[in-house]
């Protein structure tokens, strides 16, 4: 998962480490030269006879102190401690390479730029023991930058479900063909494993075969499906599902919605009507992780129209780039909550920013 992006982040870390290693070698050589000069000055000062002090004004004294024996000695001691300072020029080329890598991995431009600025601020001016700790420092900067963009708006999904008034209505939005209906089925299994009952509702009333598709999942999972004839009112379907859940003590209503326009009534108007009729407790956007920038743009549009609470990214196990996972939370201000990582009903993984960052920066194979 996200192997390509992982390799690129690792490449940046290695580039900065290589640059600072070269700088450390140069610093060590300069330290030896400075120590030699300081030693010569010490010998000269000891062999020369003491002279009467001569008064001098401050303008003459300061340059001698900064550039004379005191300056050399101070520099020598600094190098002797094995310290170097990471400077702008040390990271500029690696940062440019990282920017290109992030964009190639479908990370949204504003997200990439914010990450780069965070990394630059963390690294430039940092004092480190020659090269020994550079890799750790760069990794820490990458970790902070990644977490800052993917941790936006995180909340405890399980706790929200537990604390919500029942039945809790969860609406699923997104274009057709991205695994929205399958994600609903996986969510039904997830909720069941956490002790909650659920009913499915097919609000995708305009797509031919939509009822049959979700019915297969409902039967496989032994769940009730509420559906109307093709062309019916999506809001009415969801409302009927809420009534059924209320009458049968069902905890959660999982409502599918249309993914594209089929009538003069816009999809966004349909979502707004569903909101008015049933007042959903959560609206989740579903898209493919492999869709990259397209998924990011669609997330923006759906959030503008339906005020999503979070996202589910399907096919995350097939995504080597990781751009959508890095970008969606940041551009919408709403968290990624789940990753679809396979075709089975159990293949719905809670999204955890720390776990993702460890995957991207860790050495272990996926």
pLDDT at 182 over 90: yes
DSSP state of 57: -
**pLDDT score of 175:** 84
**pLDDT score of 82:** 56
Percent of the chain with pLDDT over 90: 27
pLDDT at 53 over 70: no
Residue 253 near residue 167 (C-beta atoms within 8 A): yes
What are the start-end ranges of the H helices in the chain?
Answer: 3-47, 58-67, 69-80, 88-104, 109-123, 134-150, 157-163, 180-193, 210-221, 234-247, 267-278, 293-306, 323-332, 353-361
For 163, residues 6+ apart whose C-beta sits below 8 A from its C-beta are: none
- 3-48+55-150 is classed CATH 1.20.120.140: yes
**pLDDT score of 49:** 60
pLDDT at 74 over 50: no
- Chain-wide mean pLDDT for the chain? 79
Name the band, by pLDDT with cuts 50, 70 and 90, for residue 158: very high
pLDDT at 79 over 60: no
User: Which position has the higher pLDDT, 362 or 264?
Assistant: 362
Q: What's the whole-model pTM score?
A: 0.77
Residue 231 has φ and ψ, to the nearest 5°, of: 95, 0
Percent of the chain with pLDDT over 70: 76
Query: pLDDT tens digit string along 80-94?
Result: 555 666 677 777 888
For residues 178 and 195, give the distance between their C-alpha atoms in angstroms, rounded to a whole number: 27
pLDDT at 282 over 90: yes
Domain ranges of the chain: 3-48+55-150, 157-351
Task: Please give the structure tokens belonging to residue 194.
Answer: 């956490």
pLDDT at 35 over 90: no
Query: pLDDT tens digit string along 219-243?
Result: 999 999 998 887 778 889 999 999 9
**pLDDT score of 365:** 46
Residue 286 near residue 315 (C-beta atoms within 8 A): no
CATH of region 157-351: 3.40.50.300
């Amino acid at each position: 998962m996200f192997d390509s992006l992982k390799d690129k982040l690792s490449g940046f870390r290695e580039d900065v480490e290589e640059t600072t290693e070269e700088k450390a070698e140069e610093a060590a050589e300069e330290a030896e030269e400075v120590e030699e000069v300081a030693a010569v000055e010490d010998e000269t000062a000891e062999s020369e006879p003491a002279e009467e002090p001569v008064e001098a004004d401050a303008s003459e004294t300061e340059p001698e102190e900064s550039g004379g024996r005191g300056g050399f000695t101070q520099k020598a001691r600094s190098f002797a401690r094995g310290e170097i300072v990471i400077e702008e020029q040390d990271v500029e080329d690696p940062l440019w390479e990282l920017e290109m890598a992030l964009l190639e991995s479908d990370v949204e431009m504003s997200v990439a730029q914010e990450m780069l600025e965070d990394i630059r601020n963390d690294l430039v001016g940092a004092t480190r023991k020659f090269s020994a700790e550079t890799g750790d420092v760069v990794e820490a900067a990458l970790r902070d930058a990644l977490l800052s963009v993917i941790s936006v708006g995180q909340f405890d999904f399980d706790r929200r479900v537990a604390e919500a008034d029942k039945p809790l209505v969860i609406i699923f939005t997104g274009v057709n063909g991205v695994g929205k209906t399958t994600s609903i089925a996986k969510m039904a299994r997830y909720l069941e494993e956490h002790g909650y009952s659920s009913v499915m509702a097919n609000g995708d009333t305009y797509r031919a075969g939509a009822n049959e598709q979700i019915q297969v999942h409902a039967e496989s999972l032994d769940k009730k499906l509420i559906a109307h004839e093709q062309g019916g009112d999506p809001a009415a379907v969801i409302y009927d599902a809420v009534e059924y859940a209320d009458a049968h003590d069902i905890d959660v209503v999982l409502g599918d919605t249309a993914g594209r326009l089929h009538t003069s009534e816009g999809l966004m108007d349909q979502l707004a009507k569903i909101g008015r009729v049933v007042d959903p407790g959560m609206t989740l956007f579903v898209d493919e992780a492999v869709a990259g920038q397209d998924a990011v743009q669609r997330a923006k549009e759906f959030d503008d129209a339906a005020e999503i609470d979070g996202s589910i990214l399907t096919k995350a196990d097939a995504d080597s780039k990781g751009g959508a996972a890095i970008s969606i939370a940041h551009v919408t201000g709403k968290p990624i909550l789940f990753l679809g990582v396979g075709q089975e009903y159990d293949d719905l993984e809670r999204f955890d920013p720390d776990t993702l960052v460890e995957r991207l920066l860790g050495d272990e194979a996926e």
